[in-house]
Amino acid sequence: MLVQLTTVVAFAAALASANPIAAGDANIQKRYLRDYCYGWSIGSGTILYAKCRADDGLIRDESIDLNRCLANDNGALVHSRDGNFQASCSLPYLRDGPIIGVNYCYARDGRSYPSVISADRFATVNNGRLSCQ
C-alpha cells in the first residue's frame, strides 16, 4: 500500500511540474471566418471565393476548392481533406454567409438528401489566407 501511495504522489508531482504542450500554430491561429472574410461567392463549380482581411488590414482575394475540404458521408457534407464531395453531390450554393449547401448528396442506399455545412467547420483563415483545415 505504501508503494502504491508513493507512486501516486510521485506521478502527481511529475504532472504538476511538467511544462504544458503548446497546441500547433493552426489551432492557435484558428479564427471565425465571418470575423475576417466577406463577399462570399462560388464559381467554377466548386471554388469558394472571399475577400479576407490580413493582420495588417490588407484585404486579400482568396479561394479554396471545396473538393479539397469536403466529402459526402452517406448523404451529408462533412469536413474531409481531399474528400471530392462533388463526385456524389450536386454543385454547391451559398446560404447565409459562409454556409455551403447542396441540393442533394447520394447516400449508400441510393437515396439523395440535401445538406449544408458552415465553412467554419472545414476552413480557416490565418493572416488573410483562406485554407482547408
- pLDDT by residue (tens digit) across 2-54? 445 444 444 444 434 444 433 444 444 455 788 899 999 999 899 999 999 99
DSSP string spanning 11-79?
HHHHHHHSPPPPPPHHHHH---HHHHEEEEEEETTTEEEEEEE-TTS-EEEEEEEGGGTEEEETTEEEE
How far CA 116 is from CA of 17, 26, 35, 46, 63, in Å, comes to: 46, 24, 20, 14, 19
Reduced to 3 states (helix: H, G, I; strand: E, B; else coil), residue 51 is strand
Quote the pLDDT of residue 73. Answer: 98
Quote the pLDDT of residue 132. Answer: 94
Quote the pLDDT of residue 32. Answer: 77
Quote the pLDDT of residue 26. Answer: 44
| pTM over cut 0.85 | no
Quote the pLDDT of residue 33. Answer: 87
- pLDDT by residue (tens digit) across 86-100? 999 999 999 887 899
Chain center to CA of 110: 27
Where is 113: in which H helix or E strand? strand 112-118
47: β partners: 43, 65
Band (pLDDT 50/70/90 cuts) for residue 130 is very high
DSSP code of 12? H
Q: CA-to-CA distance for 22 and 28, rounded, in angstroms? A: 9
